[in-house]
Amino acid sequence: MPTTRKRELKPTVPTINPYGAKSDVQPTGIETFDRILRGGIPQGSTVLLAGAAGTGKTILALQWLFAGQKQYGDVGIYISATEYLTGSIRRAQKMSFYDPDVVGTTKLFFTDLNELLRLVTKGQRAPTRQDVFDLADQIFELALDMGAKRIVIDSITSIGHRLGDPQLVREFIFQLIAKLMTIGTNVVMTSEVNAPRFSMFDVEEFIADGIISVTHEPGRLYEPVRRLRIVKMRGTSYNANAVLFRITRDGLRFFPREKGKLTYQVSDERITTGIEGLDRMTSGGYFRGSSILLSGASGAGKTLFALQCLHGALTQGEKALFLSFEESRAHLMKEGAAFGWNLEKFERSGSFRIMSAYPEEFHTDEHLDAIISHIEEVKPSIVVFDSATALHSVFSEEELHDMLSNLLAFAKERKVTMLITGATTGFLAVNDRGTDVHLSTVADTIVLLRQIEIQSELKHAVTVMKMRGSDHERLLREFVFTPQGIRIITDFRGYENVLSSSGGARKVSQSTEDRLRALFVEVLGPLGAQIFEHEKAVGLDLARVKAMLTDLGDQGVISQRRKEEFTKKSEIIIKGA
């Protein structure tokens, strides 16, 4: 047990250069927290951990103490000022990181302010300036005797209330920092204030080397959203974003986001879309590492397009990950099996994984964290995100956009091809004129799927609306669902209004020229179009064309009957005009 003997203050300035001690950072021992801090807290720093009640300040402070002891053998002191010591220990015992073997020993010492203050004031009068010096000295002596590297004062607000005068608070903090700095001890002081304030007495935040703010706000469909933000941290760089965290039995779990840099390499390599017709439409498939938005209404076939692409990649020996926010694993397996795709086989071999979760189960940052973990474990070359619409029903556009752009940046750096499915309205919308809105701006390729009605029959249409860095077909093609999956067949030439929101396509009213061209093609095949264009350029002379057909008839290339049919039809068309 450490001694609590009072020592006299030395009226000299510290002989150790306080700033020299800050050259090294002290890792907190909490991996994600260290990432946010870019390594840790500079040695000899005093950090104000500010936040309202229930934001997890005490838990983080305790976690910091225990992690330091466990991982680096750092001796720690916890000074409770808000409640009696037993209450603090009882709270700590509920956490998984609590280690009874170190608590109350020379490794991790718990004490409360009442004990210290009683020693200073003898329990008989209000604290004076000298008492403040003595209190700081007590703590310093304690730290010195124990060789403490970490001290938590929980909370400085309570101490301030006990001291009563802001000037005394300032003196206390200043004295404590000045002393502890000399031995390189880091101090975390919790501050019980509501945002946007960081300190109750408006002095703590200016004296502290670092300010960490923790906040919480009610969630919509999920539990409260807690965020941590480093407001300042002298002597080091840090992630200044507000980082989402969740309070768990293991302590605070952070979900930091690091925006990727625009330094990723682009690949010319193509991967199959899994659909032969779509491979042709995209001039050979999607680019590896690109992002593809499959946009279409419910039932348009988005998931199946994605699943077929994924299956095509799997059969070529690639690895794949399916992120499902709408369907369960069993449902997807069944859907694949219906088309003869044995996805379970790939799952067993470790080349395929399905991650299924309801959007509201977690916040976007937690989803992102889980997705990144899965990507790092499976190392897929293709990831299907099905669907962004499901997440959009729970999260705001900003949150979802932020999540997806972070995910896409991460995927691009690792050359992971991302297929994102989305609905045709709202945030993911790609309007009829092809103008990109919201997410579609970050997608490299947009494949548009539509259900259209033609003469009371519902047909499915697909078109490649955009493909960065590649030529692609601009036709709108029909696709059908076969027992082997999606097959793209003919195009919708001759129809217009196919992409309209009303979904009703109508036949194009043909001009005389169109009808004549169609007749030429009907008779002469692909060469017919070329002949027609030639004739049009030199002045259409049906007599010349008829003579040519007569010649072909003479050579046995075309029958007499067909030649007469052509003559009759062409005359009707011209007379009609």
Q: Under the rule (CB under 8 A), what is the footprint of other proteins?
A: 280, 482, 487, 489-490, 521-531, 534-535, 538, 541, 543-544, 546-548, 550-552, 554-559, 562, 565-566
Nearer to other proteins, 504 or 525 (CB): 525
Contact 474, 464 (CB under 8 A): yes
CB of 463 to other proteins, least distance (A): 17
Amino acid found at 351: S
Report in angstroms how near the CB of residue 301 gets to other proteins at its nearest: 18
CA 384-300-432 angle, 5° bins = 100
Structure tokens at 535: 């004739």
Considering the complex, what minimum distance in angstroms separates the CB of residue 447 from other proteins? 20
Q: Measured from the CB atom, is 429 or 552 closer to other proteins?
A: 552
Q: Tokens 């694993």 correspond to what residue?
A: 329
Preceding amide of 155 cis, omega within 30: yes
Name the residue nearer to other proteins (CB basis): 250 or 554.
554
Beta bridge partners of 184: none
Min CB(493)–other proteins separation in Å: 13
Q: Name the residue among 280, 214, 206 with its Cα closest to residue 63.
A: 214
Nearer to other proteins, 9 or 529 (CB): 529
Please answer whether residues 291 and 428 qualify as being in contact, where contact means their C-beta atoms are separated by less than 8 angstroms: no
Q: Among residues 398 and 554, whose Cβ is nearest to other proteins?
A: 554
Q: CB-based contacts of 306: which residues, under 8 Å, 6+ apart?
A: 294, 322, 384, 386, 419, 421
Q: How far is the CB of 538 from other proteins (least distance, A)?
A: 5
Please give the biggest Cα pair distance in the chain. Answer: 128
Cβ at position 434, least distance to other proteins in Å: 24
**Got the DSSP string for 239-267?**
--SPEEEEEETTEEEEE---PPPTTPPP-
* H-helix or E-strand spanning residue 452: strand 445-454
The torsion of the CA quartet 438, 439, 440, 443, rounded to 10 degrees, works out to: 150
Q: What residues contact 461, with CB distance under 8 A and at least 6 apart?
A: 449, 450, 451, 452, 476, 477, 478, 479, 492, 498, 499
Kindly tell me which of 310 and 549 has the beta carbon lying closer to other proteins.
549
Q: For the chain, how far is it from start to end, CA to CA, in angstroms?
A: 109
- What token pair was written down for 112? 């409360």
Closest CA to 315 of 344, 282, 275, 274: 274
- How remote is the C-alpha of 300 from its chain's centroid? 26
In the complex, minimum distance from the CB of residue 544 to other proteins, in angstroms, rounded to a whole number: 4
Give 258 or 541: the residue with its C-beta nearer to other proteins.
Answer: 541
CB 202 within 8 A of CB 166: yes
CA dihedral (408, 411, 412, 418) in degrees, to 10, reads -70
Residue 233 β-bridge partners: 210
Which of residues 399 and 473 has its CB atom nearest to other proteins in the complex? 473
Select 432 or 565, whichever has its Cβ closest to other proteins. 565
Ramachandran area for residue 289 (φ above 0: left; ψ -120 to 50: alpha; else beta): left
CA–CA gap between residue 433 and residue 500 (Å, rounded): 9
Q: Rounded to the nearest whole angstrom, what is the least distance from the CB of residue 452 to other proteins in the complex?
A: 17
CB of 546 to other proteins, least distance (A): 8
Whichever of 251 and 277 has its CB closer to other proteins, that residue is 277
User: What is the three-class DSSP state of 496?
Assistant: strand
Q: What is the closest distance, in whole angstroms, from the C-beta atom of residue 540 to other proteins in the complex?
A: 11
Least Cβ distance, residue 554 to other proteins (angstroms): 7
Nearer to other proteins, 398 or 551 (CB): 551
- To other proteins, the closest distance from the beta carbon of 387 in angstroms equals 30
- Identify which of residues 468 and 544 has a Cβ nearer to other proteins in the complex: 544
